[in-house]
Amino acid sequence: MRRIFLPARGGAVARTHLVLLPGAYQAPEDVLKADFPGALRQREIDADLSCVDVEPESLTDRGVLRRLRDEIVGPSRALGYAEIWLVGISLGGRLALDYLSSYPQAVDGICLLAPYVGNRIVAGEIARAGGLAAWLPGELAPDDDERRIWAFIKALPESPLRVYLGFGREDRFAESQALMAAALPPAACTIIDGAHDWGTWRRLWEVFLESGEV
């Protein structure tokens, strides 16, 4: 997997490794252009940052989950980071959730910035049930990624995994994101004015960095 690695300091492993997964048709260079690394360094957080290039076609191929495990997360754990976080933007947020629904003990935290959670069919099913707490996913087919991811989200409040969710009120996926937010502790969620764009995501990134989670 191609990635841009930005260490907090030369010659030493930082306390935390933030593995950032951009959205569809976005590259690590877009993360740099939005100055996500600058916001991290400005706060002098002891965290190395990896911006991973996820090819669009791989988002429908579960092989990308194994590659993320074998090429990024696994080697990071072996290097001795105290904590590893997945940071997912838009469709990268879905990939992060998909990864953790398959490897739930792989990382210590997940930061979701305006995640694309899934199609409106399953989200509507959850809304009609009265929310995630009341929704029952039933027996899941092996290829039912949508319900598997939502079932993972449903179980997050009982998980030791630390979670941060942020999105804009005008985001085109805000209805699904709100379903997820309703299932999480209020302190884990930030909702601001903004749409599905880099300006909103950058502000949410700053809120996350200032939360004290990393």
Q: Which tokens go with 73?
A: 């997360």
pLDDT for residue 63: 82
* 139 found inside a domain: yes
pLDDT digits (tens, 9 = 90+) for 73-87: 999 999 999 999 999
Query: Please, which residues have CB within 8 angstroms of residue 98's CB and are 6 or more apart in sequence?
Result: 62, 65, 145, 149
Residue 64: per-residue pLDDT: 87
Q: Establish if 214 belongs to a structural domain.
A: no
Q: How far apart are CA 40 and CA 36, in angstroms?
A: 6
Look at 9 and 55; give whichever has higher pLDDT: 9
Instruction: Flag whether 186 is in a domain.
Output: yes
pLDDT reported for residue 57: 54
CATH number, residue 28: 3.40.50.1820
In a domain, 176, yes or no: yes
9 DSSP 8-state letter: S
> Is 165 among the domain residues?
yes
- Residues 6 or more apart in contact with residue 116 via CB below 8 angstroms: 23, 90, 91, 93, 94, 173, 176
Residue that wins the pLDDT comparison between 23 and 63: 23
Indicate the number of domains in the chain.
Answer: 1
pLDDT value, residue 138: 87
In a domain, residue 164? The reply is yes
In a domain, 110, yes or no: yes
What is the C-alpha separation between 38 and 50, in angstroms, rounded? Answer: 13
DSSP for residue 24: T
- pTM for the complete prediction? 0.94
Answer with the residue of higher pLDDT: 61 or 129: 129
Match 């998909």 to its residue by tokens: 98
Query: What SS3 string covers 53-100?
Result: CCCHHHHHCCHHHHHHHHHHHHHHHHHCCCEEEEEEECHHHHHHHHHH
Percent of the chain with pLDDT over 90: 80
Convert the pLDDT of each residue in 168-192 to its tens digit: 999 999 999 999 999 999 999 999 9
In a domain, 125, yes or no: yes
Residue 129 domain boundaries:
3-209
Q: What is the DSSP letter of 126?
A: H
The whole-chain average pLDDT of the chain stands at 93
